[in-house]
Amino acid sequence: MPRPPRSRTPIKQAAVQLFVEKGIHASGIRDIAQAAGCSEAALYRHWKNKESLIRALFREHVEEVVALLDQALTNNGTARQRLHAGVCAAYQLYDAQPHVFRFVLMAQHEFGPYLPADVRMPQEVIEDLVRELKPASKQPIPLLAAAMIGIFVECSNRVIYGHLPGPLHTYSDAVTSMCLRVLELDQP
pLDDT digits (tens, 9 = 90+) for 36-88: 999 999 999 999 999 999 999 999 999 999 999 999 998 778 999 999 999 99
pLDDT of residue 67: 96
Per-residue pLDDT, 50:
96
Band (3; pLDDT cuts 50, 70, 90): low
Give me the pLDDT at residue 116, please. Answer: 96
**CB contact set of 141 (below 8 Å; sequence gap of 6+):** 127, 130, 131, 134
Indicate the fold that domain 1-46 takes in CATH.
Arc Repressor Mutant, subunit A (1.10.10)
Least confident interval from 1-5, 45-49, 106-110: 1-5
Q: Per residue in 156-188, pLDDT tens?
A: 999 999 999 999 999 999 999 999 999 998 654
Domain coordinates of the chain in residue numbers? 1-46, 57-182
What pLDDT is attached to residue 36?
96
pTM: 0.90
Rg of the chain over all Cα atoms, to the nearest angstrom = 18
- Sequence-distant (6+) residues with CB within 8 A of 23 are none
Residue of 114, 122, 124 whose CA lies nearest to 57: 114
pLDDT at 17: 97
Burial of 30 (0-12, 13-18, 19+ CB in 10 A): exposed
CATH number attached to the domain at 57-182:
1.10.357.10
Distance of CA 188 to the CA centre of its chain: 29
- Confidence grade of residue 6 (pLDDT, cut at 50, 70, 90): low
